[in-house]
A and B are shown apart, each in its own frame.
Chain A
Amino acid sequence: SAVISQKPSRDICQRGTSLTIQCQVDSQVTMMFWYRQQPGQSLTLIATANQGSEATYESGFVIDKFPISRPNLTFSTLTVSNMSPEDSSIYLCSVEVWENTEAFFGQGTRLTVV
């Protein structure tokens, strides 16, 4: 299994600013995933982050808006840049543990942009 610490748990930000969300895992993992969950909706994959390579972004998400870092096998950050009210969502970090099929999730970051 994996225990994931995600920070901050919530934040209220001014439009035009940026917020960096941190995801720390208690074990080394190959794949880390960032999801967005808009109010009352399901999870949408933003990007997949592998250590030592560029993140792979899903359709509709771009690196300039959601830059991701993955400096080692236990840590990743997602930045939401130049925020607008439409970015208000829950952002979730997830990992896939080697030799395991299930995904483990952080507790999410509730972002409100005003």
Chain B
Amino acid sequence: AQTVTQSQPEMSVQEAETVTLSCTYDTSESDYYLFWYKQPPSRQMILVIRQEAYKQQNATENRFSVNFQKAAKSFSLKISDSQLGDAAMYFCAYRSGNTGNQFYFGTGTSLTVIP
């Protein structure tokens, strides 16, 4: 089974600053997708950003961007201009390229934003 590792249980960032959350994964597949999900205290899992493995270009969504290193199996999330609303648990997730396959989640990183 694929494994997803988030080595940072907790991170903090000053408001308006930049923070990077780390994620590594293990797979023998060539076709897959990677995701960052955000889970605020409301418990609602919200998709932050998605990366297709076949795309070399790093995905970006407004203040959120990833550094996807396929050979190193690394998928970090950069949050720029951090806002108080960014405070949440962030989960890195892996999904095979075949429809219907399950998601594998990392253990999560709890992000605190300091005013």
Contacts and interface: CB of A to CB of B under 8 A. Distances in A.
Interface of A: 30-31, 33, 41-43, 45, 48, 90, 92, 94, 96, 101-105, 107-108, 110
Contact of B102 (A30, A48, A104, A107): A48
Interface string B84-115: 00000001010100011011011110000000
> Which of B42, B44, B95, B106 gathers the greatest number of chain A CB atoms within 10 Å?
B44
Interface residues of B, number: 20
12 contacts: A31-B100, A33-B103, A42-B106, A42-B108, A43-B105, A45-B103, A94-B103, A101-B33, A102-B50, A103-B47, A103-B95, A108-B44
A43 B43 contact: no
B4 to A, nearest CB: 9
B45 interface: yes
Contacts of A102: 33, 35, 47, 50
Given A92-B45, A96-B100, 17 more contacts: A31-B100, A41-B108, A43-B91, A43-B103, A45-B103, A48-B100, A48-B102, A94-B103, A101-B33, A101-B95, A102-B47, A103-B45, A103-B95, A104-B47, A107-B43, A107-B44, A108-B44
